[in-house]
């Protein structure tokens, strides 16, 4: 049976760069950082006091006030981003049958703010008065998909991926498979995260994973540099509408890009670090290319996972192993985490969306803060400034704790 083609027809973005697709895209094209001092709690005692906080988010635009206590922040972001994507795709005016639309929106850590707040309330008031009846549904990860499903009447497949920093990409990739095999015609897919809390920041500080460039927050996320000293935690959501290509074209929808390949695998090596040769990442990228039947030299852009840690060198090695001579002849690579930070479970959602927009609009996002390149990071990272370039294929990489990997290959649509 012929494989179904899958189009991207809607995108919803919430990040430290802004609320909505155009705000985020403009910031990316301008090479603007969204990183700043932490304001969610008193971080003065922490070695890291900076993060990528979402600013200006008004939940009441999407969620009645009385219902907001049923949702921790990551779920609110998921609901808002899904609605943006749904409206952009024009599905409000031309919805599929409810049974033919599903939701895969995941999160890496879920409702950490709500868990911390409820525990403090419990300590102060005891179990009878200190624990809300909405506590569990407000913090469990699958309610990101569940709330979106309820609100949009999506009665198809509905659950949430959890694969650390690969979550958003896995959610999109598995949604791609659902449509490909004919189990749905439309999928709402991506990731959402909000864990800028004492435990969230403290945990990564204890693991020595975060940048402590507190005096220069805009310069703290600096992938591929010699002076990188850890990633910058961020929050937000990236949600996309995936739609059977024939359905999208039949209704005259704007098709932003096409997803043509997906790879998912595991390093089976270490809980936080990949092997030095990036063997798992290599195989994952090859799986996506093979899935699409696309040769490596056809790819013009990669949105790298590169988090501003030691693993940036390993991803560079993996890219060189997969793309060979093409890595020096026409392959551009960038890490938009240099601007929006690391959205953890939402990273793959926003970064895949950026790949789609790069294909549609003919602009390759930059890697900012690339002032002192690491000699072992020797690819074309589109330094400092966005570049006008029309490429046919773009690849997004997302790698997570536990050795979990995901790669998505997108194609430009004429």
Unique residue bearing structure tokens 């959205």: 343
Answer whether 45's CB lies under 8 Å from 201's CB: no
Answer whether 273's CB lies under 8 Å from 306's CB: no
Among 29, 118, 165, 205, the active-site one is 165
d(CA 1, CA 369): 48
Among 118, 205, 284, 305, the active-site one is 305
Contacts (Cβ under 8 Å, ≥6 apart) of 175? 102, 104, 187, 188, 189, 242
d(CA 25, CA 12): 11
Among 118, 170, 340, 342, the active-site one is 342
Active site residue 326: no
Instruction: Give the dihedral sign, CA 339/344/346/348.
Output: positive
Contacts (Cβ under 8 Å, ≥6 apart) of 99? 155, 156
Answer whether 107's CB lies under 8 Å from 83's CB: no
Active site residue 165: yes
Question: How many C-beta atoms surround the C-beta of residue 282 within 10 A?
Answer: 20
Is 27 strand, coil or helix? Answer: helix
Classify strands 363-364 and 387-388 as parallel, antiparallel or unpaired: antiparallel
Answer whether 413's CB lies under 8 Å from 393's CB: no
Active site residue 355: no
* Residue numbers annotated as active site: 165, 305, 342
């Amino acid at each position: 049976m012929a494989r179904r083609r899958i189009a991207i027809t809607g995108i919803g973005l919430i990040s430290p760069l802004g609320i909505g697709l155009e705000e985020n895209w403009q910031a990316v094209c301008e090479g603007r950082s969204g990183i700043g001092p932490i304001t969610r709690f008193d971080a003065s005692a922490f070695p890291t006091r900076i993060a990528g906080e979402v600013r200006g988010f008004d939940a009441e635009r999407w969620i009645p006030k009385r219902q907001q206590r049923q949702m921790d922040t990551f779920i609110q972001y998921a609901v808002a981003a899904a609605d943006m994507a749904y409206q952009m795709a024009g599905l409000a005016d031309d919805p599929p049958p409810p049974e033919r639309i599903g939701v895969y929106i995941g999160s890496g850590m879920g409702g950490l703010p709500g868990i911390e707040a409820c525990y403090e309330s419990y300590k102060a008031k005891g179990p009878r008065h200190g624990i809300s009846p909405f506590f569990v549904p407000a913090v469990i990860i699958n309610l990101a998909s569940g709330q979106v499903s309820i609100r949009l009447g999506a009665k198809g497949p509905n659950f949430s991926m959890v694969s650390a920093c690969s979550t958003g990409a896995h959610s999109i990739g598995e949604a791609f498979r659902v449509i490909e095999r004919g189990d749905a015609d439309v999928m709402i897919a991506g990731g959402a995260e909000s864990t800028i809390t004492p435990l969230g920041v403290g945990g990564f500080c204890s693991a020595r994973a975060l940048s402590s460039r507190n005096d220069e927050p805009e310069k703290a996320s600096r992938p591929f540099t010699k002076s990188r000293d850890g990633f910058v935690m961020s929050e937000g959501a990236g949600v996309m509408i995936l739609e059977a290509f024939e359905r999208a074209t039949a209704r005259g929808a704007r098709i932003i890009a096409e997803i043509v390949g997906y790879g998912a695998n595991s390093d089976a090596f270490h809980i936080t670090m990949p092997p030095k040769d990036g063997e798992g990442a290599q195989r994952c990228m090859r799986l996506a290319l093979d899935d699409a039947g696309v040769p490596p030299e056809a790819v013009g852009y990669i949105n790298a996972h590169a988090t501003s840690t030691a693993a940036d060198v390993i991803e560079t090695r993996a890219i060189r192993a997969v793309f060979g001579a093409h890595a020096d002849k026409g392959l551009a690579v960038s890490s938009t985490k240099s601007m929006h930070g690391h959205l953890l479970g939402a990273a793959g959602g926003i970064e895949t969306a950026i790949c789609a927009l790069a294909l549609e609009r003919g602009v390759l996002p930059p890697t900012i803060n690339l002032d002192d390149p690491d000699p072992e990071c020797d690819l074309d990272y589109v330094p400092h400034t966005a570049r006008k370039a029309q490429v046919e294929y773009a690849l997004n990489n997302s790698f997570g704790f536990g050795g979990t990997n995901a790669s998505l290959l997108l194609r430009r649509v004429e």
